[in-house]
Amino acid sequence: MRLLARPHQFPVRLATGAFILNSGLTLADSTREGAAHIHGMASTAYPFLKDMDPEEFTRWLARGQIAVGTALLIPLVPSLLAGAALTAFAGGLVGLYLRVPGLRQEGSLRPTQEGLSVAKDVWLLGIGAGLVAEELTRD
């Protein structure tokens, strides 16, 4: 595993990492109502989260986002590791999109207006998978 990110990966890691880090920092300042909303969506998609306290869940989610964003921003974190973390995070978002009612048009993968903000995160999955695939297939 390479110790440093490849130079051509810097732009995508910087843009993605800054976006996710900002999202995590914003989420860390969530109100009780905001935490309840986020937890409600997450526990609809992932029922095992229902028993978790909404504010605790939101704190953990924010920490996870901050960790993934930071890993992407630090070139010393190998792209295989940063890409795997991004892929796992994005996979959870795509699962949320696919499982929460009202985010997709009936019988379609096309987003509703409410689902657009989650559906667009499929690009994160592509970036993460691309980083992983590149590192696994290069010398």
Q: What's the pLDDT tens digit per position in 85-98?
A: 999 999 999 999 99
Mean pLDDT computed over 105-114: 92
Cα 60 to Cα 46: distance, rounded to the nearest angstrom: 15
Look at residue 19 and tell me if it is in a domain. Answer: yes
Task: State yes or no: pLDDT of 5 exceeds 90.
Answer: no
Residue 41 lies in a domain: yes
Angle between helices 79-99 and 10-28 (to 10 degrees): 50
pTM for this structure? Answer: 0.90
Domain count across the chain: 1
CB 27 within 8 A of CB 61: yes
Whether 46 is in a domain gets the answer yes
Is the pLDDT at 2 greater than 80? The verdict is: no
Read off the pLDDT band of 138 (50, 70, 90): confident
**What's the rounded Cα separation, in Å, for the pair 58 and 22?**
15
Structural domain of residue 100, as residue ranges?
Answer: 7-137
pLDDT of res. 1: 66
Decide if 2 is inside a domain: no
Mean pLDDT of 3-27: 93
